[in-house]
Each structure stands twice: as C-alpha cells, then as structure tokens.
C-alpha cells in the first residue's frame, strides 16, 4: 500500500481533504447514485406493463421516471433476475411506447429499473422528444 502523503504524491493536508470528500460522498448515497447514471432521469406520470417476449404478462405498474436509456416502474414485483429480456409498454404524457428492455435491477416492494435495448432510431427520436418535454417542466 502506498503512503501517498509521505511519498511526494500529495501532502498530508490534501490526503486528509480527499478523505473528507470521500466521507461526504458516502454520507450522501442518493447524490452518488444519481452521478453514476449516464443520462439524467426525469419524473413523469403514467403506467406501464412489462411483458415476457412470448406474450406473458409479468406485472403492471406506474412509471416514475424516464431517461433516454431506461425508466423506473413502481410495482409489486415478481422475482426477476437482472438481465431478463422483457417488452415494456408504457403511456406517459399522452404518448404510448413499446420497447424491448432488460431488467436492470429490482428493488423489493418498490419496483424495477428497466434498461432499453435494441431501440430503433425512430423510437429513440420519439423518446428523446418526450424527454425534452419532461425536461422543460423541471
């Protein structure tokens, strides 16, 4: 393990300040979580249905936020593995979309993070336009 403070890397004061910054980041996990996302998410209202590609319904819920790469759906969740391929049909801002997606993560008793995949250029443009509308409201 390198001793950065004593090896000419950074001063002891700078090392202490870095430690304080890391501690502050760990104390604010919501902020840290937001920074990990590639694209900003915007609050929205609407509903969603998550289907298996073969047509079986997994669950219905409320769409809570949306980005160009995915969304969060609030719902009572069945047990799903991360990476499960699904189709998502959602309605928000009087627009309807159907996209292929993967389950990005499940929060027990809260819902699921959805990551869009294989989005056509036309659908991507439609989602981007919707994101623009949502961004204007914030």
The per-residue pLDDT for 19 is: 34
- pLDDT above 60 for 7: no
pLDDT band at 37 (very low <50, low <70, confident <90, very high): low
Contacts for 75 with CB less than 8 Å, ≥ 6 apart: 48, 50, 59, 60, 61, 62, 111, 112
Residues 112 and 77: beta-carbon distance below 8 Å:
yes
The per-residue pLDDT for 9 is: 34
CATH fit for domain 42-137, picks 2.40.10.220, 3.40.50.150, 1.10.540.10, 3.20.20.100: 2.40.10.220
- pLDDT above 60 for 60: yes
- pLDDT above 90 for 104: yes
Residues 76 and 36: beta-carbon distance below 8 Å:
no
d(CA 135, CA 138): 5
Q: Specify the higher pLDDT residue, 138 or 118.
A: 118
Tell me the per-residue pLDDT of 93-103, one tens digit each, with 9 for 90 and over. Answer: 888 999 999 99
Six token digits for residue 126: 């439609």
Domain ranges of the chain: 1-36, 42-137
- pLDDT above 90 for 85: yes
Tell me the per-residue pLDDT of 11-32, one tens digit each, with 9 for 90 and over. Answer: 333 333 333 332 333 333 444 4
d(CA 58, CA 60): 7
Residues 52 and 108: beta-carbon distance below 8 Å:
no
């Amino acid at each position: 393990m390198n001793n950065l403070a004593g090896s000419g890397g950074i001063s002891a004061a700078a090392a202490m300040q870095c430690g304080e910054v890391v501690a502050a980041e760990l104390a604010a996990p919501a902020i840290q979580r937001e920074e990990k996302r590639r694209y900003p998410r915007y609050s929205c209202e609407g509903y969603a249905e998550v289907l298996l590609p073969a047509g079986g319904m997994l669950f219905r819920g409320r769409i809570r936020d949306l980005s160009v790469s995915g969304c969060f759906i609030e719902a009572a969740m069945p047990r799903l593995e991360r990476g499960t391929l699904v189709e998502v049909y959602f309605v928000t801002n009087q627009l309807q979309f159907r996209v292929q997606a993967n389950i990005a993560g499940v929060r027990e008793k809260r819902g699921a993070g959805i990551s869009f995949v294989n989005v056509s250029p036309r659908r991507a443009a439609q989602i981007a336009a919707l994101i623009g509308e949502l961004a204007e409201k914030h």
